[in-house]
Amino acid sequence: MSRPIVYFARHGETDWNRERRLQGQHDIPLNALGRTQASRCGALMSGLLAQTGQPIGAFDYVSSPLNRARETMELMRGAMGLEPAAYRTDARLMEMSFGRWEGFTYAELQTREAEALAARERDKWGFVLPGGESYAQLERRVQVWYESIERDTVVSAHGGVCRALIALLGVADPAAASMGDIGQGVVYVFADGGMSRHE
C-alpha cells in the first residue's frame, strides 16, 4: 500500500542562513528574501496540488514549531488563498539540534572545534554534535512523524528534516543525503519512493 505524498518546503532564508551560521533550534526569523521565497513556495504548491484534482484545502498542513518554518507556512497558505493560521505544528519536525555549535559558522568552528569537526567528517550521519543530535537521531524522530501521517501532507520545516526524509525513504543513502544543498524557495515532492524538485 502506498504511503501519503509529502509536499515539502524548507523555510525561507534568515540572516543566519545568509551568514552561514548553524541555526539548529535557535528561533531566527525570516528576512525579506525569506518571505519572498515563502510566498513563491505557496505559488508552486498551488500549481502542484491543483494537478491532483483534489481541493487544496483537503490536504493536511503541518509545520515545525520554529518561527521561521511557521512564518513560511503562513505566507505559503496566504499565497494559496487559504487561511494563514489554519495549520498545525509538530515538534518532531524541528531542525536537528546543533548543540553548542549553534550560532557559529563552520569557519569559526574550525578554530574552536577542529577535532570534533574532523570526527564528524568521518561519519557525518552518525556523529552526535556536542550537546546536540546526529542525523541518525533526527531520522528516527522524523520516521515516527512520517509513520503517523494518514493523508497527503504539505510540510514547512528545515534542511535537516528534508535530508532525514531523503534517507528514510531511500531516495539516497545516508552519506549522500547528508551532502548537497536543500534549496529555499523550492518545493520537494516525496512520492512512490522518489523525490522531485520544483522551482
Question: Model confidence over 26-61: pLDDT tens digits?
Answer: 999 999 999 999 999 999 999 999 999 999 999 999
Q: How confident is the model at residue 195 (pLDDT cuts 50, 70, 90)?
A: very high
Residues 6+ apart with CB under 8 A from 49: 7, 56, 59, 80, 154
Whether 22 and 103 have beta carbons less than 8 Å apart is answered as yes
- 95 among known catalytic residues: yes
Q: Is pLDDT above 70 for 1? A: no
11 is catalytic: yes
User: Quick one: pLDDT band at residue 119, thresholds 50, 70, 90?
Assistant: confident
Band (pLDDT 50/70/90 cuts) for residue 117 is confident
Average of pLDDT values for 136-151? 97
**DSSP conformation letters of 74-98:** HHHHHHTTS-TT--EE-GGGSPPP-
pLDDT of residue 158: 98
* pTM tops 0.75, yes or no: yes
Sign for the CA dihedral angle at 89, 157, 21, 43 comes to negative
- Comparing C-alpha atoms, which of 141, 146, 148, 138 is closest to residue 174? 138
pLDDT tens digit sequence for 61-98: 999 999 999 999 999 999 999 999 999 999 999 999 99
pLDDT tens readout for residues 92-103: 999 999 999 999
| CATH fold of the domain at 6-198 | Rossmann fold (3.40.50)
From the candidates 13, 71, 74, 95, which is the catalytic residue?
A: 95
